[in-house]
């Protein structure tokens, strides 16, 4: 009985309406009817979908399920210490900030070492990596630049995000004082604090971001289209702007690529794939002093230890180099061929 009712409750024919007021008898009836005639749902109003309704059905049926608790006592209580390890978010009013202190000056050194290779020494963003500074006053322009300084409403978001997600290759690796310092530095790049500034838990709430009033709660729907059916516009007024011609499968297209290899890629291609998806993030820009791809100077000393030792370091890790680039699911061979690929770029 329970099972069949569960089926009713989860049968898509029976869960389409948000009308929670429909009574349980009707629910059974419509669901049974749907079972008998199949799911022809395009026309009728459908009954409610809440499991509570289904339970009512059970209660009014032959097999009564009684004694369901107001809540299920499943799960274990959790101590403040355990929660603290994961409870890392910061709110605009500073709630959640740990004790700590960091100066713009300290932040500059840390930023140069850990952030500038992607975000640029002045927050201008290398290649396609995000910009962190500039763009103030550009939000109404044709090409707005949304950065920490021009767009972000709260400094807490910056502290929170750097702490949880940056530096990109090593999230949650920074100490609180480092996060204070780097946050202070990124704020100074945006001229929100001066070069002498020292950021602390206590003075955090005093920081005002330039665009703090730049947001309002979603007020959609903002369009009001009508179902015009005939003579909706003058055919002569239509101007057609065409997009690119469809080319996939006709010729190779550098813009559009398959996210998974379809044909069996040559091993060299696969090695390049591994490099691109796993190793590049550090080895292209030389993050944490990773030897850069194709840069002989970075590799000369290393090559002297012999290929086997290099393989071993790539497999087992070495200082800032995580074992297998942090991807323990890669096979040893995949890592080795990625190393081979990196070495061939030196030739």
Whichever of 223 and 308 has its CB closer to other proteins, that residue is 223
Task: Give 23-26 contacts, CB < 8 A, sequence gap 24+.
Answer: 24/53, 24/56, 24/57, 24/60, 25/60
What DSSP element (H or E) covers 180?
helix 176-189
Check binding of 244 to other proteins (CB under 8 A). Answer: yes
Count other Cβ atoms within 10 Å, centred on residue 129.
15
Check binding of 164 to other proteins (CB under 8 A). Answer: yes
Instruction: Indicate which of other proteins, ligand HEC, none lies near residue 236 (CB less than 5 to 8 Å, by partner kind).
Output: none
- Go through 106-116 and write b for each residue having 16 or more CB atoms within 10 A of its CB, e for each that does not: bbbebbeebbb
Q: How far is the CB of 294 from ligand HEC (least distance, A)?
A: 13
Instruction: Indicate which of other proteins, ligand HEC, none lies near residue 319 (CB less than 5 to 8 Å, by partner kind).
Output: ligand HEC
- 36, 37, 62, 140: which one binds other proteins (CB under 8 A): 140
- 196, 206, 249, 266: which one binds other proteins (CB under 8 A): 249
Going residue by residue from 44 to 83, which x/- string records binding to other proteins, judged by CB under 8 A?
-----x-x------------------xxxxxxxxx---xx
Q: How far is the CB of 304 from other proteins (least distance, A)?
A: 31
Q: Which stretch binds other proteins (CB under 8 A): 8-16, 293-301, 310-318, 331-339?
A: 8-16
- Chain centroid, CA 165 distance in Å: 10
Count other Cβ atoms within 10 Å, centred on residue 225.
6
Check binding of 281 to ligand HEC (CB under 6 A). Answer: yes
Contacts to ligand HEC from residues 110-149, by CB under 6 A: 114-115, 117-119, 129-130, 132, 147-148
Check binding of 189 to ligand HEC (CB under 6 A). Answer: no
Sign of CA dihedral 191, 194, 199, 205: negative
Check binding of 297 to other proteins (CB under 8 A). Answer: no
For 318, the 3-state DSSP assignment is strand
Cα(277)–Cα(295) distance, integer angstroms: 19
């Amino acid at each position: 009985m329970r099972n069949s009712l569960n089926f009713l409750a989860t049968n898509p024919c029976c869960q389409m309406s948000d009308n929670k007021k429909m009574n349980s008898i009707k629910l059974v009836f419509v669901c049974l009817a749907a079972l008998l005639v199949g799911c022809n749902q395009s026309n009728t109003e459908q009954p409610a979908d809440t499991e509570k309704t289904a339970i009512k059905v059970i209660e009014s049926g032959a097999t009564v399920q009684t004694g369901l608790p107001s809540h299920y006592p499943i799960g274990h209580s959790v101590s403040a210490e355990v929660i603290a390890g994961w409870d890392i978010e910061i709110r605009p009013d500073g709630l959640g900030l740990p004790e700590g202190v960091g100066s713009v000056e300290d932040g500059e050194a840390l930023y140069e070492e850990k952030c500038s290779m992607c975000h640029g020494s002045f927050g201008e963003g290398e290649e396609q990596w995000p910009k962190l500074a500039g763009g103030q006053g550009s939000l109404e322009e044709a090409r707005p630049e949304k950065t920490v300084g021009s767009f972000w409403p709260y400094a807490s978001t910056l502290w929170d995000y750097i702490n949880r997600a940056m530096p990109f290759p090593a999230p949650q690796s920074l100490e609180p004082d480092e996060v204070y310092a780097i946050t202070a530095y990124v704020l100074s790049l945006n001229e929100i604090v001066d070069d002498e500034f020292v950021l602390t838990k206590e003075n955090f709430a005093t920081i005002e971001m330039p665009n703090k009033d730049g947001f309002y709660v979603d007020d959609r729907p903002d369009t009001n289209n009508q179902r015009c059916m005939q003579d909706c516009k003058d055919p002569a007024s239509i101007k057609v702007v065409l997009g690119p011609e469809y080319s996939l499968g006709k010729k190779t297209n550098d813009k559009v690529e398959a996210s998974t290899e379809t044909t069996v890629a040559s091993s060299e291609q696969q090695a390049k794939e591994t490099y691109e998806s796993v190793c590049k993030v550090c080895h292209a820009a030389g993050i944490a002093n990773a030897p850069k791809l194709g840069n002989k100077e970075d590799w000369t000393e290393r090559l002297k230890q012999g290929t086997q030792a290099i393989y071993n370091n790539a497999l087992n890790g070495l200082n800032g180099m995580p074992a297998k680039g942090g991807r323990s699911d890669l096979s040893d061979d995949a890592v080795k061929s990625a190393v081979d690929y990196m070495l061939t770029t030196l030739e």
